[in-house]
């Protein structure tokens, strides 16, 4: 395969990854890494480097839109980014010493968790009584409703959420994905942040977390322009297209189908990792 053909195919695949990732709320990195490793045979470390660059671009684009709409809790995001950044740097340092099989098994496990969490019931956690710690840190907020009004919310279990964010950062550094599923578990499940606020705040945090990991991968030479540039461009434009379609389409069926596809990819990843298929 020529360089031009590889670039064009990778560009098209990344566009579809960004589109599907945007429509399902999972992000393009979840799709890009299986495409690079399973379809193109790219080494996991280089695939992760490309996915990190794509995560920075998509988070910067979509994250700014959510901030403008007033949904993102910026103060909460900045506070939790301390945990994810520490975890991301640690994870990226560890990742360079892990072989492809171990990374594949970890990645498959995270994909299974992601597929399961996609099917859970979303909640706005109305009536939550916030903790004193959250109040002192001024983490309470409000988010806009369709009628133009604002609904206030409180949150709790700051320590538990912060701890899970460290783990999310470590996995982000190892796998090159936003680990949005763990971030939403921390904010939505433990801290009782409304689901829409938790997902948009997670998206806002993703770029900072990816930047911390990317520095380590860049120093190790695992971010290759020939892979990272087509992935970045394709995922970014795919995500922008998905954001426009999301307002017009009912994606519930698509999310269910995509969850099944993710589950199959996860099982394949784990199988390949256990049998040495990525060595």
Domain boundaries of the chain, sorted by first residue:
3-275
CA separation for the pair 22, 50 (Å, rounded): 18
- The answer to whether 139 and 155 are in contact (CB under 8 A) is yes
pLDDT score of 42 = 85
Cβ(217)–Cβ(49) below 8 Å: yes
How many angstroms separate the CA atoms of 21 and 23, rounded?
6
Residue 183 to residue 201: CA distance in whole angstroms: 9
Write out the two tokens for 150.
Answer: 């604002």
Quick one: how far is CA 268 from the chain centroid? 20
* Residue 26: predicted pLDDT: 63
Q: Are 85 and 165 in contact (CB under 8 A)?
A: no
pLDDT at position 179: 63
Q: What's the rounded Cα separation, in Å, for the pair 4 and 174? A: 30
Burial class (CB in 10 A: 0-12, 13-18, 19+), 141: buried
pLDDT at position 61, please? Answer: 65
Helices (H), 195-251: 195-219, 225-246
Per-residue pLDDT at 79: 92
Give the pLDDT of the chain (279 residues) as one tens digit per residue.
Answer: 788 888 898 898 888 877 776 666 566 667 788 888 888 888 888 888 888 887 777 776 666 666 777 888 889 988 998 998 899 889 888 887 888 888 888 888 888 887 777 666 666 667 778 888 888 888 888 878 777 788 888 888 889 889 988 988 888 888 877 666 677 778 877 888 887 788 778 777 877 888 888 888 888 888 888 888 898 888 888 877 876 776 566 656 666 777 787 788 888 888 888 887 766
Would you state the pLDDT for residue 64?
67
Residues 6+ apart with CB under 8 A from 208: 59, 81, 84, 85
Q: What is the pLDDT of residue 124?
A: 64
The reported pTM is 0.80
Structure tokens at 10: 């990778």
Tokens representing 11 are 């560009």
DSSP bridge partners of 151: 143
């Amino acid at each position: 395969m020529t360089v031009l053909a590889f670039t064009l195919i990778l560009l098209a695949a990344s566009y579809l990854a960004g589109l599907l990732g945007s429509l399902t709320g999972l992000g393009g990195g979840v799709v890009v890494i299986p495409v690079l490793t399973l379809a193109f045979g790219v080494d996991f470390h280089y695939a992760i480097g490309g996915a990190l660059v794509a995560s920075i671009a998509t988070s910067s684009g979509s994250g700014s839109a959510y901030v403008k709409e007033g949904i993102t809790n910026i103060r909460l995001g900045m506070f939790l980014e301390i945990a994810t950044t520490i975890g991301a740097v640690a994870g990226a340092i560890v990742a360079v010493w892990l072989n492809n099989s171990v990374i594949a098994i970890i990645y498959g496990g995270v994909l299974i968790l992601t597929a399961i969490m996609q099917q859970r019931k979303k909640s706005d956690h109305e009536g939550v009584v916030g903790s004193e710690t959250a109040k002192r840190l001024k983490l309470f907020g409000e988010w806009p409703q369709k009628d133009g009004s604002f609904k206030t919310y409180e949150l709790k279990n700051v320590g538990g959420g912060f701890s899970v964010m460290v783990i999310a950062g470590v996995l982000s550094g190892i796998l090159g994905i936003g680990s949005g599923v763990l971030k939403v578990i921390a904010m939505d499940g433990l801290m009782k942040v409304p689901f829409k606020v938790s997902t948009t705040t997670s998206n806002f945090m993703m770029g900072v977390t990816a930047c911390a990991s990317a520095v380590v991968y860049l120093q190790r030479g695992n971010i290759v322009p020939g892979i990272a540039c087509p992935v970045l461009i394709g995922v970014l434009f795919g995500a922008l297209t998905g954001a426009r379609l999301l307002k017009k389409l009912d994606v519930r069926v698509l999310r269910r189908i995509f969850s099944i596809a993710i589950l199959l990819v996860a099982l394949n990843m784990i199988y390949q990792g256990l049998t040495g298929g990525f060595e």
